[in-house]
A = this chain, B = another copy of it.
Amino acid sequence: MSAEITRTLQRAAVVCVIILPILYLVIVYYRPGELRQEVPTTQKRFSLQSHLPPPSPCTCPDGSVLLKDHIPKDQYEKVAKRRAKELQQHKARTTSVLSRLLIALPNSPLQYPIQGFTVRPLTTTPIPGLALHAGQRSSYKVSLNVSKGVLTTENVAEGVKVQASFQFENHEAVFPITIKQPQLPVLHDMGTDINSHVTIATKTFLRYPQLKVLLSSIRRFYSNIEVVIADDSFEPEHITGEHIRQYFMPPAQGWFAGRNLAVSQVTTKYFLWVDDDFLFTENTKIEKLVEVMEAVPELDVLGGTVQGNQFYFSLLYEEGEEMEGGCLYRKSQGKFQSLPGYPQCFLASGVVNFFLARTDAIQKVGFDPKLQRVAHSEFFIDGLGSLLVATCDHVSIDHQPKTGNNKDNAHYARFRNPGNSDVEFKLQLHFFKNHLKCVKYG
C-alpha cells in the first residue's frame, strides 16, 4: 500500500515547485495488506518549528578594548545607526529560512526528505521520498504546499531556501528544499613544475636594497619562478629581470592595498607571501609547503618559520547580541590540532608573514586596502571561518639583518610605525566593519 501511495504522491508532486504554492491531492485508494494501527492523536500536531533563542550578549575578557570608547562622541549615534543598517543588509544576504530549527515529530505517518534535496531554478524536479504510511482509509487527502519564498523573483539566480509543508489529517511536517543555481568549478591547472604551481608575491616601500637582496636569494634556488612586486615607493625604481612583474602604486598608498594588489595579479594556484626584507635559504623549500597543501586540499594558508620564529595565534570569537556586537580575543601562540600525516604542522587562526596560500581563497577574503600600516591579524580576522590556516616548522626563511643607513631607516620608520591615529583608526574599523563590541589582544 505504502509503495503505491508513494508512487502516486510522487507523480503528483512532479511539478515545478515554483508554480504550485498550494497543492491538494485527493487519493481514493486502499489496499488490504500489512495493517498499521493508528496512533491515537488527540490534538493537532504541528512540526515543531522552534526558533533558536536570540543571541545573548558576549562577555569581553579582562584586558579587552571597548571599541565604543574609540568612536568620537559626536559621531557615535550616526555611526552606530549606519552600522545597524549594514548588519541588516548583511543578514539579508547571508541568512535564510534554512537556519530555522526544524524538528521531525515522532509517530507521524508522513515520510519526506530532510536533507539533500536541491533543485535548480525554473526546472521541474520531482521531490524524492514523499510517502504516506497510514492505517486504512477509504480515501486519503494529503496536502503539500511550498512557502512564498519560492515565488520571489530576485531569488532566481541565487540560493533560495524553501520550506515545504506536508499535511495529512492532523499531522504536519515541514522540510527544506534548496533552490540554487549551480556554480561552475573554477580550477587551476598546476602544470608540471614549481614555476607553474607557485608565484612569489611581495610588497615593497623605500627598501630597494633589501628587495634586491631578496630577489637574488630567490634566484639562487628558483631561477624561473615568477615574482610579483607591489611598489608604493616615493621614487620608484624599475627592477629588471625575467619573470619579475612590478606594479607601481600611488606613493605610500599602503601595506594592505599593496598586498591586495599583488594577490590580484597572481595567475598560479598558489602564491608564496614574503616580506621585502626576507632572505631565501636552502631550507626555504617551497615544494614542501606545496606538498602539504596538496595533501590537505581544505587548507587555504600554510605558514612557515622566519629566522626561527614560528609566530601564530588563535582567534576566539563570539557573535554577541545584535545591537552591541561581538567579542574577539586574539590569543598569541594559540593553536589547535596537528594535521593528519604532518605532525610538524598544526592548525591555527593566523600565522607569520611567510606563507603559501591558495590564491582564490585569499582573494575571496582580501586584504582591506584601508589598512595602511602595521596590519597583520586583520586579514585573519576578516577570514575567520572562511580560511583554514595551518603552520609548519619544517620550512623556513631568514630575515635580512637591519643595516646601514640611519636616515633611510628613519624615513622608513616614520611611515612604517603606527601613530596614535593609526591605532584609533583600526579600532574604529573593527567597530564598524567587523561589528565588534570589544577586542582583546593577548
Contacts and interface: CB of A to CB of B under 8 A. Distances in A.
B187 A93 contact: no
Interface stretch (A60-68, A280-288, A336-344, A413-421): A336-344
A389 interface: yes
Contacts of A388: 154, 157-158
Interface in A35-94: 35-40, 42, 48, 50, 52, 79, 82-83, 86-87, 89-90, 92-93
Contacts of A167: none
A106 interface: yes
Contacts of A366: 264, 360, 363
A99 interface: yes
Interface string A332-372: 00001111100000010100000000001001101011100
Contact of A154 (B50, B107, B339, B369): B339
Given A111-B105, A369-B265, A187 B245 contact: no
Interface residues of A, number: 120
A425 interface: no
B245 A248 contact: no
Interface string A289-302: 00000101111000
Nearest to A83: B187
A160 to B, nearest CB: 10
A129 B245 contact: no
B187 A90 contact: yes
A434 B131 CA distance: 38
A173 B108 CA distance: 13
A339 B157 CA distance: 12
Interface stretch (A112-120, A212-220, A396-404): A112-120
A298 B435 CA distance: 20
Contacts of A317: 181-182, 184
Given A104-B114, A109-B107, A264-B263, A337 B153 contact: yes
A145 interface: no
A404 to B, nearest CB: 29
Contact of A40 (B37, B93, B133, B257): B37
B339 A369 contact: no
A123 B363 CA distance: 30
A61 to B, nearest CB: 16
A381 B50 contact: no
A243 B385 CA distance: 35
Given A131-B106, A260-B264, A156 B336 contact: yes
Contacts of A294: 89
A208 interface: no
A186 interface: yes
A384 to B, nearest CB: 6
Given A39-B107, A158-B298, A247-B247, A369 B189 contact: no
Given A107-B109, A263-B264, A298 B154 contact: yes
Interface in A232-266: 245-250, 253, 257, 260-261, 263-266
A326 B184 contact: yes
